[in-house]
Amino acid sequence: MKKQIILSLVVTLILVCLGSVAMAASILVKEGARGHAVKTVQTLLIEQGYLTGEADGVCGPQTVEAIKKFQEANGLEVDGICGDGTYSALSGGAAYEPPTVETYGGSGRLVYVSATAYSPQDPGLSAYTASGTKVRYGVIAVDPNTIPLGTRVFIPGYGEAIAEDVGGFSGSHIDIAFETHAEAINFGRQNLEIYILD
């Protein structure tokens, strides 16, 4: 009995650690990505002379080219994708800090939701949302009777998202879009506090 209790505690501790890793601050900026992470990378690229113009939070061809130039100049793998390694070099060793609700004015209505994840790579799912936009990081699927389409939300550990899709569920549940199937699987199912910004 004592061994079973100890084993149960060890398994619980491992699961808690794995859950923490899943929500740990990391960054993935690649073509088509949008939001705070992209804007942060663009700002650093502009400051270091690799990108001109304004940090608009949209990773298009110019941002990809700037990332490639930075990678080449710093002896990194040249793939045009800013992950943790490229970001560390770009930021002088600092880890990416995801936005907090204060980033968006520090206010919002707190809502408790059950959350799952999906991606455009999931088998059998469309690459487009119910609103006609592409499924991408920064999109959530909702029950429009609970959270209307077009609503902006802040999800701690993820960032800002907009309700552009609907799912086959009802009530206080959201489906959070990620870029890859692996990221969606890694997120799993979680109970979260999110902020309604609108």
Residues of the chain within CATH 2.40.40.10 domain(s) are 102-196
pLDDT at 149: 96
d(CA 121, CA 185): 11
To the question of pTM greater than 0.75 for the whole model, the response is no
What local confidence, expressed as pLDDT, does residue 57 receive? Answer: 82
Give the pLDDT of residue 1. Answer: 52
Asked if CATH classification 3.20.20.70 holds for the domain at 36-90, the reply, yes or no, is no
Evaluate whether 51 touches 62 at the Cβ level (below 8 Å).
Answer: yes
> Cβ atoms within 10 A of the Cβ of 166, count?
16
In sequence order, the β-bridge partners of residue 155 are: 159
Beta bridge pairs of residue 195: 110, 154
What does each of the 198 residues of the chain score in pLDDT, given as a tens digit?
Answer: 555 544 454 444 444 443 433 334 478 888 877 777 888 999 999 999 999 999 988 889 999 999 999 999 999 999 999 999 999 999 999 988 877 666 666 667 888 899 999 999 999 899 999 999 999 999 999 999 999 999 999 888 888 899 999 988 899 999 999 999 999 998 899 888 888 986
Beta bridge partner(s), residue 175: 116, 141
Handedness of CA 18, 142, 131, 58 (dihedral sign): negative
Tokens (6 digits) for 15: 């699961």
The residues of the chain that CATH labels 1.10.101.10 are 36-90
* Assigned architecture for domain 102-196: Beta Barrel (2.40)
DSSP 35: S
**Of the candidates 41, 58, 64, 34, the residue with the CA atom closest to the CA atom of residue 158:** 34
CA gap 93, 96 in Å, rounded: 9
Q: What does the pLDDT read at residue 7?
A: 47
